[in-house]
Amino acid sequence: MARQEPSSARTPMHMIISEKLRKQIQNGVYAPGDQLPSEFDLGRTFGVSRTTVRRAIATLTGLGLVTTQQGKGVFVKPQSKISFSLANPLTFFDSELAKQGVTSSLQTLQYELTQPDPEIRARLKLPESEAMIYLQEKLILADEMPIAVDLAYFPEIVGIALKDNVNNGFTYRTLAISGYDIESAEVSLESRPASYNVRDLLDVPLGSPLLVYHYLAWDKEKVPLVYGETISRADRTFYSVGLERSQLGF
């Protein structure tokens, strides 16, 4: 039942197909928002089974070029990205996004006292193993679409003070209002594939790349005030910052 050409061409058919479609998308043959031919049609035009076409489409999905919608078809994805500030991505994020022509909003999903993971406890330098923390979970929307989730962990004392201001503005600003002044911070950025938890919140396929911004902030006495992670869709966001001579590493 299986048939395979004498492998005159070394490159597999699914790759030939995905490359052809990729170039057509890049060259504007299919514009953002356009629908690709159906899997059945593609199979007929390339003379391959539907399985092979699906393999090619899966590649394009992995490259972030198309999305599939059951019952409708395969569509070319728009590509624009939103900029976050690396020095402080989420303070004033609303005005910053407005500058980029994007309407934004915040949604606090939860704010609760809970027991921290050992890892979180270590980062916040909490000595006792029974110490509790406040967890704030927020959803960041741009143009009505969720683009990021923020998880912030506060030591209990800090968290109590924040309680009333939780819905105003954002982390660093909220801290300042409550009388906690940040003196320094350590931030880092990594990329991670989407797992099941965030997949639903951010409406992305499993395994698609996410940007994870970690932040740890201290007061004058080097006491940790907050640790957090902002998890954003890598296909919709990037981080940037300007650096002066004194800040460069030489």
Partner DNA sequence: TAGTGGTCTAGACCACGGC
Partner DNA sequence: CCGTGGTCTAGACCACTAC
- Binding of residue 238 to DNA (CB under 7 A): no
Residues 64-123 that bind DNA (CB under 7 A): 68-74
Beta bridge partners of 152: 136, 228
With a CB cutoff of 8 Å and minimum separation 6, the contacts of 249 are none
Using the rule CB under 7 A, give the single segment among 37-45, 77-85, 93-101, 236-244 that binds DNA. 37-45
CA distances 239 to 92, 108, 149, 159, 207, Å, are 15, 22, 15, 27, 21
The site partner of 104 among a copy of itself, DNA, none (C-beta below 5 to 8 Å per kind) is none
Q: Distance (Å, rounded) from C-alpha 105 to C-alpha 141?
A: 5
Measure the CA angle with vertex 221, ends 218 and 227; round to 5°.
Answer: 20
Residue 123 tokens, joined:
């980062």
- Binding of residue 37 to a copy of itself (CB under 8 A): no
Which one, 37 or 209, has the nearer CB to DNA?
37
Binding mask 198-227 for a copy of itself (x = CB under 8 A): --------xx-xxx--x-------------
| Closest to 111 measured CA to CA, from 164, 173, 37, 43 | 164
Binding mask 103-142 for a copy of itself (x = CB under 8 A): ----------------------------------------
Residue 99 tokens, joined:
């500058």
The site partner of 183 among a copy of itself, DNA, none (C-beta below 5 to 8 Å per kind) is a copy of itself
Going by DSSP bridges, is the β-strand pair 184-193/209-218 parallel, antiparallel, or unpaired?
antiparallel
Q: Which residues would be at the binding site for a copy of itself (CB under 8 A)?
A: 19, 51, 58-59, 62-64, 81, 83, 85-88, 91-92, 172-173, 176, 182-193, 195-196, 206-207, 209-211, 214, 234, 237-245, 247-250
